[in-house]
Homo-oligomer: A and B are copies of this chain.
Amino acid sequence: MKDSKLKAFIPLFYLVWSDDLLTQKEFVTLQNFIFSQDWLNTKEQEILLSNLDSKTPPTRTTINSWKSEIETFLNENPTLKSTFEIATLLSDNENSSRDLRAAFIQLENDLGISGEEIITDFKNKSNSLTSNLQTITSFEIEKLTRILDGEQAAIIKKVKLIISQPEFAYETSTDTAIYREKVYDWCKILAKENLGNMAYPKEYGGGDNIADYFAIMETLSYHDLSLVIKFGVQFGLWGMSVHSLGTEKHYAKYLKDIGSLKIPGCFAMTETNHGSNVKGMETTATYNHDDQTFTIHTPHQKAQKEYIGNAAVHGQMATVFAKLIIDNTDYGVNAFIVPIRDANSVVLKGITINDCGLKMGLNGVDNGTISFDQVVIPKENMLDRFASVNDKGEFESPIPSDNRRFFTMLGTLVGGRIGIPRSALSAAKSGLTIAIQYSDKRRQFGPEGGSEVPILNYRIHQRRLLPLVAKTYANHFALQYVTKRFMQRTEAEMPEIEALAAGMKAYSTWSTTAILQECREACGGKGYLSENRIDALKNDTEVYTTFEGDNTVLMQLVAKNRLSEFRKSFGQMDAMGIIQYVYDNAKTAIAEKNPIATRKTDETHLIDQEFHLNAFIHREKTTLASAAKRLKKLIESGLDPYDAFNVVQHQMIDVAQAYLERIVLEQFQEAIKTIEDNDSKAAMIKLCQLYALAQIEKNKGWYLEDGYMEAVKTKAIRKMVNQLCWDIRPDAVALVKAFDIPDSCLAAPIAF
């Protein structure tokens, strides 16, 4: 047999013996191919087939010599594109007829291999685009940090200094009792630094600075989250309930000692049988005319107070919510200060406390149940800002409706719904910092012959993490906005602000859950080790979507608020009017629904912030109008409104979601307008584009159904999301470094 004929098959022999994807079946395919080539005689075919006998495989030396032969040819002929072309060169062009080319290409297809891919595998290419991508920062990190910290920079710096001290080293014991004491000790240090009472009036030792208080909560959340929740229970829930629901006499008696942590206390609202529907609680506070006292009582076991922070170990007093009963008349839910332990931590008579036991997370917080067996408290322990019992034993309140009074009381406590999402935001920042810094260093796989590549260079990894960085920045600015609205609130704005806070609580905490899930997976096995802290971040924040109001219930409330606002602004609701409303308000909607706009895919348009905001507004208005229309139709058709609301629950979530996404985008865009540093601004604009387009992509089913976009546009948006991820990747590390989380808090070895 002529050597050149044999040589023509070398690339194929090399392939079948080296490729790990080919199977026995492909051996047979190649054998058949050889049989079918009539330019080979029987003898030649036999020789060739002997190279395909699995009983006598070629030696390693043979295979290696094949490989170098192919490599040599490829280096000399860099434009080769198929195994056939290599074959013809190897065999000195003897068999380069058209027919053979087709046969070889058919063979490549039958084997399921691609000539181009295989050829590249022979070439050394440490020089691919994917390999070359790396961290290059386009802005000054400190400048961006200053923008994020804003007016609270000083207090943030102070808190970071404190939690970076050695006594704040993380507790590593799995013993809950030890962990709880450590968290309690940390709280005492913070109290001593006058951080706990930051929001209380100056005359009671406080700092009179609510904005700083929220910044403290947010910054503490870079550290242990049990700490921030314990801190929030003591100074926020317990202290602020006294401050918001009580009057001067209570402030004078309690506030200073709460702020100094001399009186550790609880906020006892939730009962076992009544969590979300807290209005239905069953604990009673019965007024005793004879001695002007109240008797606090738990009527049955499932009416016990449950999940109460600070109850299991440390709490000495509690703000207890109970139905006030005077002479057998129920005056609705009111709040009372009830001592539960003496100063030596001995549980008082009539009080039964049980430990909630081990939880998924936050095990540094001592949650417990509290039951009251005819516990008598003096009359002055009623927190009487919104209702009181007068000297004649009569009920008095400026708000006659029990419902309205209760919701007014709850409204004063809305600050909790700002503290929690801001804490969730910090946890997301921590998780992303760990995951991004790890992904920038961790190398795995790479081009054949080249070094392994940082996993953040892989498109799918960028897609998993970078839109979440964008979302986290977006949430940061949106939560700044909610805080500002809350600080400057007027009474008329309260319903809107309450809905906004409830909604952003849900939006931010759900974001954090999803972000930390992605961070855990993106860090692989390392993300599962406790030393890298993603487990704690994840498990501690898991309940954020439940406490301070179950997210799903809150989203329904937000949607109801939106519906009510819609009815007000809209007037009479008929179908035409609704359509009019939608188009009037989303001013560009009609213009954008013309065929050119729905198909517009040029880059300038796709990254245009006005296009983004209009798309968000259009979705917000349309989902709202559509839910309202559907509800009206269902009720008019005779359905009980309670049932009708049940039918549209799914749409209601969309209404709330669309509203919140619009707010978040709008506030991100507004915040960018105020940035002066050009480099930071450019980086933020790119992130904002990514946030907007990633949300549109997520909602593309909706936009296509609505006709606001056509397929060609949603597909272009997907590509643009990929492109933005690729473009932002070099800045990724800088973007998380700008969160400026203390190293001692991050702690995760994989982050460094």
Contacts and interface: CB of A to CB of B under 8 A. Distances in A.
> Taking each of A358, A464, A639, A704, which has the highest tally of chain B beta carbons within 10 Å of its own beta carbon?
A704
A444 interface: yes
Contact of A495 (B21, B403, B535): B21
A106 B275 CA distance: 37
A530 B360 contact: yes
Interface string A713-731: 0110010001000000000
A280 interface: yes
A20 B403 contact: yes
A116 B635 contact: yes
A680 B107 CA distance: 50
Contacts of A60: 331, 395, 400
B706 A642 contact: no
- Oligomeric state, in number of copies? 2
A22 to B, nearest CB: 8
Interface in A510-542: 513, 517, 520-521, 524-525, 527-531, 534-535, 538-539, 542
B116 A641 contact: yes
Nearest to A640: B128
Contact of A452 (B277, B404, B491, B560): B277
B705 A714 contact: yes
A403 B464 CA distance: 30
Contacts of A116: 635-636, 641
Given A128-B642, A524-B550, A528-B360, A401 B20 contact: yes
Nearest to A61: B400
B542 A650 contact: no
A390 interface: no
Interface in A400-441: 400-401, 403-404, 406-408
A567 interface: yes
Contact of A520 (B280, B542, B641): B542
Contacts of A552: 460-461, 464, 521
A552 B564 CA distance: 44
Contacts of A161: none
Interface string A628-643: 0000100110011111
A636 to B, nearest CB: 8
A524 B495 contact: no
Interface string A15-53: 001111101110000000000000000000000000000
B23 A650 contact: no
A93 B19 CA distance: 91
A109 interface: yes
A175 interface: yes
Contacts of A130: 642-643, 646
A61 to B, nearest CB: 9
A587 interface: no
Contact of A459 (B23, B398, B531, B650): B650
Given A109-B572, A705-B700, A276 B444 contact: yes
Contact of A458 (B21, B458, B565, B649): B649
A495 B23 contact: yes
A112 B573 CA distance: 11
Contacts of A403: 18-20
Nearest to A274: B444
Nearest to A398: B57
Contacts of A55: 398
Nearest to A569: B112
B458 A570 contact: no
Interface in A453-507: 457-461, 463-464, 491-492, 494-495
Contact of A358 (B460, B530, B567, B653): B530
Contact of A404 (B19, B174, B447): B19
Contacts of A201: none
Contacts of A136: none
Interface residues of A, number: 140
A110 interface: yes
A359 B398 contact: no
B404 A18 contact: yes
Given A520-B542, A572-B106, A129 B643 contact: yes
B529 A401 contact: no
A237 to B, nearest CB: 15
A59 interface: yes
Given A395-B60, A444-B276, A306 B459 contact: no
Given A646-B130, A705-B704, A711-B705, A357 B452 contact: no
Given A120-B641, A640-B128, A535 B539 contact: yes
A568 interface: yes
Given A18-B404, A711-B705, A360 B571 contact: no
B722 A701 contact: no
A730 to B, nearest CB: 16
B460 A649 contact: yes
Nearest to A571: B109
A547 interface: yes
A280 B525 contact: no
19 contacts: A21-B495, A23-B491, A57-B399, A58-B400, A59-B400, A63-B401, A109-B571, A112-B566, A114-B641, A116-B635, A174-B358, A276-B444, A277-B444, A277-B445, A358-B529, A460-B653, A521-B545, A521-B546, A525-B543
| Among all A-B residue pairs, the 5 with the closest Cβ atoms | A360-B535, A701-B701, A358-B530, A20-B407, A112-B564
